[in-house]
Amino acid sequence: MARRVAIVGTGHSKFGVRNDVNIAELAYESITQAIREANIEKDEIDLVITGYVGGWSSEPLAPPLLLEYTGLTGKPGYRVEAACATGSAAIKAAYDAISAGEADIALVVGVEKMNESPTPTVVEFIGRAGNYFWEFENFGLTFPGYYALYATAYMQQYGATEEDFCRVAVKNHYYASMNPKAQFPRKITLEQCMGSRYIAWPLKLFDCSPITDGSAAVVLASEEVAKKLTDSPVWIEAIGASIGTSNLSKRPGFTSLPAAVTAAKAAYKKAGIDPDNPAKYIDVAEVHDCFTIAEILAYEDLGFAKRGEGYKLIREEQTYIGGKIPVNLSGGLKAKGHPLAATGVSMAVELARQLLGKVEKGRQAPIKNGRALAHNIGGTGHYAYVTIYSLEKPRQA
């Protein structure tokens, strides 16, 4: 019988341009926090899952290096990669191992040192995450270009404006200003966003997430072990996952990510959440806002808004604290930063701390239902993970 799994320890580095550390030292920051918070010794860890995309870093085989530096050499484990959804994929791998009885305690760490390469190189590497020969080579699509296609299609079909996209950036910078771990812990105005230069019309500089160095880590434990370690576990209630098409031309349109819809429905079914009104069950969400249009699409793909009405949520400030569903109170990828493999793990850290009331004043969501949601996308909908975290023990493993 499958076992229940809980988060019992969390760790998070400062995100940004981290030229002050190498990649092993960067991972060490979050790993040691998570182990200390879990109140365990290193030799109690049964499994280590490392999320790492790499390519831009000087270390192609970073996982053995960072485990050696942290004193975890010899542990069973492996590296996971699912583009920008790598962190959530790594959590799923550890969750599955514990649920199946292959481990009692697992450490999950996601880390990237993206700024070791110049910006054009990073942009190219990320652009290759689509359909390389058809879209990148033939049409020169980079990720801003991909999401500009979504933005223009959404504007044309539903009447959203560039100001609506910028409202997402303003919100996320507002909450990042209260997050000391964020890459950009400062507020911006709507006018600043609208006045920033275009990257790929209609997306401007402030519509785009940055290139980020950072790490995040969680310690997962089986129910039996979690009870011994803490009186406040955060349970992984459900994980939905889906893989989309590689080629955008194989998808039905540019105003939704089908993989995200499928992953959300799977997670809701496992958690007993009404897919027609999930906001009724969830206190706070972290969604994959690699570009501002992506957050608006997430509102709709997750069922927080009807199709074509996601922009109204941000226009009416319904995704701020006090609104229908607070979203990206960490600052999101847009302002907290987006070190690819660390992002999904960072979401888990943020949401566990939100549920336990352990985030900074001013960005703490009211916790009524005891549930939080993470929405993590790899590529432009090539991978999708939707994870439900809960203070209540899952009804079934």
**Among this protein's residues, is 84 annotated catalytic?**
yes
Q: Is 172 in contact with 289 (CB distance < 8 Å)?
A: yes
Which among 137, 189, 134 is positioned nearest to 166, based on CA atoms? Answer: 189
Q: Is 6 in contact with 387 (CB distance < 8 Å)?
A: no
For residue 269, give the DSSP letter.
H
Q: What is the three-class DSSP state of 60?
A: coil
H helix and E strand count, the chain: 14, 11
Q: What is the token pair recorded at 250?
A: 């194989």
Listed in sequence order, the DSSP H helices in 238-331 are 258-271, 292-301, 310-315
Backbone angles phi, psi at 4, to 5 degrees: -75, 150
Q: Dmax of the chain from CA atoms?
A: 57
Candidates 288, 338, 375, 382; catalytic one? 338
Q: Please state, in angstroms and rounded to a whole number, the distance separating the CA atoms of residues 228 and 230.
A: 6
Candidates 12, 84, 173, 208; catalytic one? 84
For residue 250, give the DSSP letter.
G
> Hey, which residues does 388 pair with through a beta bridge?
238, 373
**Catalytic residue annotation:** 84, 338
